[in-house]
Amino acid sequence: MKKIISLSICLISMVSYSQQTPQRNLYGFNKYAINPAYAGSNGCTEIHFSHLNQWVKVEGAPLTSMITANGLVGKSLGVGGQILVDQIGMIQQVSAMGTGSYGFTIAKTHKLRFGASFGYNQYRIDASNAIAFDNGDPIIDGGEQAGGTINTNIGLLYRWKNLEVSLGSQQVIQSTTNVSLAGIDGYGLRRHMNAYIAYNQKLGSSWMLRPSIFTKGTNNGYQIDLNADAVYKRYIFGGLGFRTGVGLIARAGIQIQDLFFIGYAYETPMSNIASYSSGSHEVILGIKFCKKDPNKKREIAELKKQDLDTTNKALKNQVIAEMPAMDTLIITKVDTVFIEAPTVEVKKVEITKAVFKPIDKDILFEFDKSLVKRESFSELESIINILNSRVDLKISLKGFTDSKGSDKYNISLSKQRVNAVKEFLIANGIDNGRILVDALGEKNPVADNSSLNGRKLNRRVEVRFIEK
């Protein structure tokens, strides 16, 4: 019976084109595999290896292995590549493709990206181990055959706030190989279309729900996936899906230290082979290398640049002693000095110690974020002006978090926060050698972590001025 099923799978795949593009259940974890426009879209270099074993226990069922890599080059260009090996009964497909993509932004919030892949598909038919039920079976008599054809994929990606829309086409150039079998004049590649729509909905500070729809097929028919996935703190993933003609799909994944990813999916067997198969299994392994977010850096360094320049110009024409004092600034001594022109007598503030308390008016951070909030720019401007007027001072930055999360994660988050402040200072002319940083995680809380307001007060960067 297994031999009959195996042979049937082979015949169906040759004449129907439905399995020309390999089945995927974990496309949400590696979207580049379904659309070349995703190459470089995340701003990181990503490498994924996946393996799908369909219809376990059915001899000759599809086996698909794939490795992909993609990344960003410069600000807008993306590149990528993939190698795929797909085995269905007696038919083996090996393909290699390279990808280029380009993205741009419209009206600050609408992001578009186009991508295209070009490569070559090699096909091989080996019937040497097949069993012939009829003498003169053209499959058996044809022996081993091989052939190849070029392959082209194109795609479009649109993102707006929490909405994501992907449109792709695989095997755009319909072509035929030089493989001839069972009355088929060459094994032809049919154009496939696919579409992916997803929406990310935040549920509190830790959870995110991601409903999505994925469809693919040819003019002979389309397959539709209805998915609902949940994400916990960007590190734990899980969800369910329903695929027309198949049934349920369950998947889960875990992100390890923003570097490694492991995912698994199980697909229930189709009704017509349920008595022979225990379902389909897919695993994916990923690694990701990310540079510092250029958008975050620009926002920190440039968002208030114009305001800072205006403030500096105004401060040159007034004495520092007349500046509005910060709540936390401790002034210990006032001397008389000269600034710029020797004929103008001004007062200079000598600061032996100044501390920014981790309260609302200081350098603030949202939960699980390291981006400096807008209301803290005034505090940072004052710090910069003090350092510019007192070249004999250094500055000590200590980053802290609330008690949510593991010790290791909180140390990393506090380091990101203190580096965000450091980057702002450097971007506005403060020498790196004058800045001392330390990341202490959830240590030394200034408020009770059991309350919402207390945790808010603990998410801080403390600032101290010290003499060189």
Q: How far is CA 164 from CA 33, 107, 159, 375, in A?
A: 16, 16, 5, 31
Is 407 found in the same domain as 368? yes
Cut 0.85: pTM above it? no
Q: Are residues 260 and 388 in the same domain?
A: no
Q: Is 19 helix (H, G, I), strand (E, B) or coil?
A: coil
Number of residues written out for the chain: 468
**168 neighbors 156 (Cβ within 8 angstroms):** yes
- Partnered with residue 162 across adjacent β-strands are none
Of 209, 201, 195, nearest in space to 163 by CA: 201
With residue 195 as reference, give the H or E element that holds it: strand 192-199
Question: 168 and 19 share a domain?
Answer: yes
The stretch 243-261 carries a mean pLDDT of 91
240 and 101 within one domain: yes
Asked whether the beta carbons of 166 and 155 are under 8 A apart, the reply is yes
> Would you state the torsion angle of the CA atoms of residues 439, 445, 450, 452, taken in this order, to the nearest 10 degrees?
-70
- 3 state DSSP class of 414: helix
Tell me if residue 289 falls in helix, strand or coil: strand
Count of domains observed in the chain = 2
Task: Give residue 293's pLDDT.
Answer: 52
Which tens digits make up the pLDDT trace of 111-122?
Answer: 999 999 999 988
CATH number of the domain that residue 96 is part of: 2.40.160.40
Expressed as residue numbers, the domain containing 409 is 296-467
d(CA 365, CA 401): 9
Q: Are the C-beta atoms of 52 and 116 separated by less than 8 Å?
A: no
From 270, 291, 312, the end of a domain falls on 291
Helix, strand, coil percentages (3-state) for the chain, rounded to 5, are 20, 45, 35
Task: Please give the DSSP secondary-structure letter assigned to residue 5.
Answer: H
Question: Which residues sit opposite 166 in a β-bridge?
Answer: 157, 196
Backbone φ and ψ for 215, nearest 5 degrees, come out as -135, 145
Residue 404: how many CB atoms within 10 A of its CB? 18
pLDDT at 82 over 70: yes
User: Is residue 327 located within the same domain as residue 205?
Assistant: no
Note the pLDDT of residue 325.
40
The pLDDT assigned to 140 comes to 55
Q: Pairing mode, if any, of strands 188-189 and 461-467?
A: unpaired
- DSSP three-state, residue 185: coil
Q: What is the CA radius of gyration of the chain?
A: 30
244: helix, strand or coil: coil
Under DSSP, the state recorded for 162 is: T
Question: If you ran DSSP here, which 8-state letter would residue 444 be given?
Answer: S
Element (DSSP H or E) covering residue 82: strand 77-88
Report DSSP letters for 365-405, one per residue.
--TT--SPPGGGHHHHHHHHHHHHH-TTEEEEEEE---S-S
Verify that 281 and 302 share a domain, yes or no: no
Burial class of residue 268 in the structure, from the number of CB atoms within 10 Å of its CB (0-12 exposed, 13-18 middle, 19+ buried): middle
Confidence bin at 33 (pLDDT 50/70/90): very high
Q: Among residues 291, 320, 349, which one ends one of the domains?
A: 291
CATH number at residue 317: 3.30.1330.60
pLDDT given at position 335: 42
Mean pLDDT to the nearest integer, 302-321: 47
Quick one: 222 exposed, middle or buried, by C-beta within 10 A (0-12, 13-18, 19+)?
middle
Question: Residue 396: CB partners within 8 Å, gap ≥ 6?
Answer: 436, 437, 438, 463, 464, 465, 466
Cα end-to-end distance, the chain, whole Å: 84
- Of 291, 316, 333, the last residue of a domain is 291
pLDDT level of residue 130 (50, 70, 90 thresholds): low
445 and 386 in a common domain:
yes
Q: Would you state the pLDDT for residue 15?
A: 40
Tell me, what DSSP letter sits at residue 21?
Answer: S
Band (pLDDT 50/70/90 cuts) for residue 274 is low
Predicted local distance difference test score (pLDDT) of residue 9: 46
Q: For residues 248 and 333, state if they share a domain.
A: no
Strands 345-350 and 333-338: antiparallel
So what's the pLDDT on residue 275? 64
Mean pLDDT of 438-456: 85
What six digits make up the tokens of 142?
């044809």
Computed over every residue of the chain, the mean pLDDT equals: 77
Is there a single domain that holds both residue 264 and residue 333? no
Looking only at the bridges linking them, the beta strands covering 110-125 and 91-106 are: antiparallel
Amino acid at 367: F
The band of 208, judged by pLDDT with boundaries at 50, 70 and 90, is: very high
Gap between the Cα atoms of 468 and 465, Å rounded: 10
Strand partners, 146: 124
Q: Are residues 263 and 319 in the same domain?
A: no
Band the pLDDT of 364: cuts 50, 70, 90.
low
Does residue 189 share a domain with residue 44? Answer: yes
Verify that 284 and 300 share a domain, yes or no.
no
